[in-house]
Amino acid sequence: MADTNEVLLKTPLHALHVELGAKMVPFAGYDMPVQYPTGVLKEHLHTRAKAGLFDVSHMGQRTLVGPDHETTARALETMVPSDFLTLRPGRIRYGLLLNEAGGIVDDFMATRPASPAEDGALGLVINASGRGVDDSFIQARLPANIRLQFADDRALLALQGPSAEAVLVRHCPKAAPLSFMTATSAEFDGMACSVARSGYTGEDGFEISMRARDAETFARRLLDDPDVLPIGLGARDSLRLEAGLCLYGHDIDTMTDPVSANLVWSIAKRRKLDRDFPAAARIMDLIFNGSAKKRVGIRPDGKAPAREGTTIADKAGRVIGTVTSGGFGPSLNAPIAMGYVETAFSADGTEIDLIVRGKPMPARVAPMPFVPHRYRRAV
């Protein structure tokens, strides 16, 4: 049961959300917009067709600061299986914080600043639900010459969709040349910001970090564009599910390893060879010999959605897994889900049953993403 006495934090855009008629709900300790009067369905489809603006200021913005890039990267690599040593200036890389058992403490994005003046810095964006846990986890493992800086005086907006570039470059021309997973410092109508070509919808788009006091100005100017609508957590979740992307605390957690989660691609070749990341022996054994379960996409045959926690069974009725994310995919006009099944049932096309209200509902394992990604890749 939720704590009705919980004091919720507010992002710098809280008053704007209320002004725009958003339905506000508790999320990761914040009072956040789940939808606007437009409704989740239209918000979702508008983002796929034009551009949606998301307030993601509840995410944790952090910076690791050390004497030089190599020192900082090697310090971070003691906690992750990614390769941050070879990360080039202005580039972004996905990472997994792993505990000693190989469980996923959190997933995050790390950016190496493009400016030589910031050599030794790595910008991190961590999940809102893991802010305190991640901070303690990282700080406990840092050497004395590396420090973790907090950027709680900053806000973060995501502009996502096929019109995102055209809208943003009117205010921030420096964003135009960026390709997926690259970033730069820039100005938005004369206001300093950092712009990354990234996001969590599967669409082309940007994440823009700015001073908290400037956030409302940024948001209002973007929303003045007829192609842009404000988007809440409801559509953000359905967009990331269609894109086949994990939500921490649901699809991945400390009881999940990267192999079972189908995130082996995030383990760098050099790290596999050196076997110098947390739980490397166990994880490499899973890579070579297989894991007991796998995260898969699921397409129910009917129209009824399978929600998180739904039991997955084989056609003989034996329980083989659980749904971790599920709902309606507006772009497909059909229900979709992801979850974990025994590896023997993880091949695309495998027929399974979802047990809904005690009755088996036919479904099949399906490839992800459910909707093709439309990132702007480097030429």
What whole-number distance in Å separates Cα of residue 16 and Cα of residue 167?
20
Query: What pLDDT is stored for residue 131 in this prediction?
Result: 83
What whole-number distance in Å separates Cα of residue 76 and Cα of residue 84?
8
pLDDT digits (tens, 9 = 90+) for 79-136: 999 999 999 999 999 999 999 999 999 999 999 999 999 999 999 999 998 788 999 9
What are the DSSP E strand ranges found in the chain?
A: 23-27, 30-35, 51-55, 60-65, 92-98, 104-111, 121-126, 147-150, 154-160, 183-188, 191-196, 205-211, 228-230, 293-300, 311-313, 319-329, 334-342, 351-356, 359-366
Q: Is the pLDDT of residue 4 over 70?
A: no
Nearest C-alpha neighbor of 250 from the set 190, 338, 167: 338
What whole-number distance in Å separates Cα of residue 379 and Cα of residue 376?
9
Domain 14-57+153-242: assigned CATH number: 3.30.1360.120
DSSP string of 144-194?
Answer: TT-EEEE-TTEEEEEEESTTHHHHHTTT-GGGTT--TTBEEEEEETTEEEE
Q: Is the pLDDT of residue 2 over 70?
A: no
Q: Is the pLDDT of residue 184 over 90?
A: yes
Q: Is-contact 184 208, C-beta < 8 A? A: no
What whole-number distance in Å separates Cα of residue 281 and Cα of residue 274?
11
The overall average pLDDT reported for the chain is 97
Is the omega angle on the peptide bond into residue 369 within 30 degrees of 0, that is, cis?
A: yes
pLDDT digits (tens, 9 = 90+) for 278-319: 999 999 999 999 999 999 999 999 999 999 999 999 999 999
Q: Which CATH superfamily is domain 292-379 in?
A: Aminomethyltransferase beta-barrel domains (2.40.30.110)
pLDDT digits (tens, 9 = 90+) for 152-183: 999 999 999 999 999 999 999 999 999 999 99
Q: Is the pLDDT of residue 5 over 70?
A: no
pTM score of the predicted model = 0.96
Domain ranges within the chain, ordered by starting residue: 14-57+153-242, 292-379
CA angle 138, 143, 145 (to 5 degrees): 115
